[in-house]
Structure formats: C-alpha cells, structure tokens
Amino acid sequence: MSKQGPSVGDEVLCCSPVVREPLDAEQAGTLARVFKAIGEPVRLRLLSLIASHAGGEACVCDLTGAFELSGPTISHHLKVLREAGVIEGERRGTWIYYRVRPDTLRLLSDSLAPALDVAETA
C-alpha cells in the first residue's frame, strides 16, 4: 500500500515551496487538488478524527457518531480524502481502517512554511 513519496492518483506530489518561487500550472493543479479535498469542514473533521484516534487509525464505525450524516455520505468524504492522497485505507475483516498519510500532510505543511521566512523578512 505504501508508495514512493506523496502522490495523488498517478501524479507524484513534488515538494513545491509555494512561497519561494512561482508554481507552474501543473504543480499548482496537483497541490490545489489536495487543498481542495481538505477545504471542506466535514472532511477536515474526518481527517482530524482519524489522525487523533487511538493507534492513529479509525474505521467508519468510529467516525459516524461524530456527525449527523448518513454512512454513505461519510464514505463519500473518506473516498475524496483517499483519492487526494491524504488518508489510506486497509480492509481488515469487516471494516476498512483509515490512517493519515504523513508524507502528504508534511508536504502540504512544508509547501506553505518555507516561504514564511522570505515573506516575514521582505
């Protein structure tokens, strides 16, 4: 299940320092897709719930109680997060267990961070 570096579908996410040099259209498209996936309140809460859950993983059965949403709706949001490379799932028995992909989160975090020094001293 593990891949070489963060990826979204077939596209490899490269370490784009958003604030250091201009992103090209392709980099921006790939990175924007991931930000868009987490740019939705329910998905951001799901990400947060999964990441902070005991053992760093959670199944849908652990997640539905936090929302007044149907199981299929929760599953749809999990699919969007999974397709964006933010979480990954593994079936064990009846349930799929989800965990965050730290490589993707680190890349997103780093893509916004390094330019800060530039911006703050400009």
Q: Interface residues with a copy of itself (CB under 8 A)?
A: 18-23, 25, 28-29, 31-45, 47-49, 51-52, 55-57, 66, 99-100, 102, 105-106, 108-110, 112-113, 115-116, 118-120, 122
Q: Which is nearer to a copy of itself, 69 or 96 (CB)?
A: 69
CB of 16 to a copy of itself, least distance (A): 8
Contact in structure between 111 and 16 (CB atoms under 8 Å): yes
Nearer to a copy of itself, 75 or 99 (CB): 99
Smallest separation, CB 2 to a copy of itself (Å): 13
Contacts by 18-25, CB closer than 8 A, 24 or more apart: 18/111, 18/112, 18/115, 19/112, 19/114, 19/115, 19/116, 19/118, 19/119, 20/114, 20/115, 20/118
Least distance to a copy of itself from the beta carbon of 5, Å?
Answer: 15
In the chain, the N- to C-terminal Cα span, in Å, equals 42
